[in-house]
Structure 1
Amino acid sequence: MKQTRILAVDDEPLNLAIIEEYLCEEENYALDTAQDGENAWTALTGASTPYDLVILDRMMPVLDGMALLSRMKTDARFAEIPVIMQTAASAPEQVREGMAAGAYYYLTKPYEPETLCAVVRAAIGDRHALKSALSRAESLERAFQQLSEVEFRFRTLDEAAQLAQVLADFCPTPQNVLFSLSELMINAIEHGNLGITYREKTLLLMENDWRAEVERRQELPQFRKRMARVRFERLNDCLRFTIRDEGSGFNWQRYLEFDPTRIFDPNGRGIAMARRSSFCNIEFQGNGNTVVVCINTDKSD
């Protein structure tokens, strides 16, 4: 298996040494370092193998973290690389600025080794899922472009990932939809059908036990027969996806926007990312166990 490559950017050598100790000795990642944004940009553009993740300090000389992030997100070669912003600046407006620029993962200094490793695993997991899904979607050749309506049932994380790959290929730009569609379908399994709370997921991710707990709960008598459903409809001016689970619902209103008080958790950003970057409309119905999302296909808009 290819070793995960990470670029850590910080103007403090001690901080880089700490990151290297945590990620290379404990997690066995391949780590390169840079002490300012310009050196980091040189590393990015000169890399023979693309990086899987960038850990970026916000405040640096020469070229700061926000300026480097802006360069990355406006360059197609690096736009999809996840960025973890590490900073001592945790004011809500600064966090919102970073999220708006594309930094969806945050670490506030000082942090514990477990926190760093959990956030890194979450970001890399999302990156690998997106790459795998894109590869699968590109191979489907638009075989389903004439399909007007279909409904699927799914129960496991693997089934959700596979279906998201298929469904994204219905869309004009699959790469813009895959991650968000997958996140909503996973939510239906973990939070809906299996009743895993937000706090429980945070702790499970910190301990690297999340997938094992999902699989354990799926074999419990009260959850074993629960299914989730996703329905696709091709309408005149949009594509509509309806995702339903058999759970008791949740307080979905608090997750529609990025909450700076939760940005340092390894989870809790999927719905807000979906609303901001993937769909023209997202609507939760009833007690929250049904979500309807739309993608605009009207070229006159």
Structure 2
Amino acid sequence: MKRFQVIIAPVFRRDTRRATQRFLRNTLILCAWSGARIRVISEKPSDEMTALISNLRSQMCCESVGCVVETAPPGEMVTFLKKIVEEDEADLLALNLEKGMMGRPVMSHDKGAVFLETNLPTLIIPGSVTFGYPPISSVLVAMAGERRQSEALRLAITLGNDNGLPVDLLHVTDNVRRDENGSMLGNISDEFQHEYPGMVQEFIAEASPFSTEKEKRCIRHFWHMRGDVSHLIRERMGEDRGKLLVLEWKGSLRSGRAEVLRAILRHAGFPVLLVRPEVHGYARLRIGKDFPLAG
């Protein structure tokens, strides 16, 4: 993750000590792997957080990770973080998902507000996730339905090249013919081998027009599938540790909006990187017909 130099890790006063320890442990591992620095913004007493971070760095042999701990006034986390973003002092926001009813991850109102207002790429880490080393071994990008430039794919290609990670693409539509493995770049039947490779390459070229052919070699599979979007994403992510899901998203987390995203987060057992799209005058962005991403 060399694309990110400073990772913001907000800690809220409602977070339990156990959840905070797990979240900071995961973020420290990510920083140690990527070379990024961690900037902890806490609503809890600074002495408590400094001691916790110091103990974690010592236990995990992460003393080399650059770390700053700051205290946000109660109820002012959003304002505090927006100022940091405006001063261009952060590259990535990390948020942990708490366990709610029936053990499913939920995003609290405070964290939702931070996510919506800071406008940073946001790594959401469910409480059930415990990073190993390396924390990420592959990347899955859920592609948009329209042919257009994709900030998620561009960022995934950058991460793939910087960290030697394979990148897989998933594009969900209503009707599609595919091989038994679902991969257009992996095993293409004779019937489609002349037509589909060119279509896939064209699709990727339009989605990431500024990536070179050499950079795009990190792309391993292109899955073109039909069905329920959130189910297919979870199916492709599987149970293997180390997979990162990258989505391009802009909109609201309110009830009735972004239902597919909400479904993914409710059942996610993997980290999700949400990326804001570049502004090109588009009014709506979809994955298939079921994934409205713009409010």
Band the TM-score falls in, shorter-chain normalisation: 0.3 to 0.5
Task: Return the TM-score normalized by structure 2.
Answer: 0.38
More contact order relative to length (CA 8 Å, sep ≥ 6): 2
Task: Return the TM-score normalized by structure 1.
Answer: 0.38
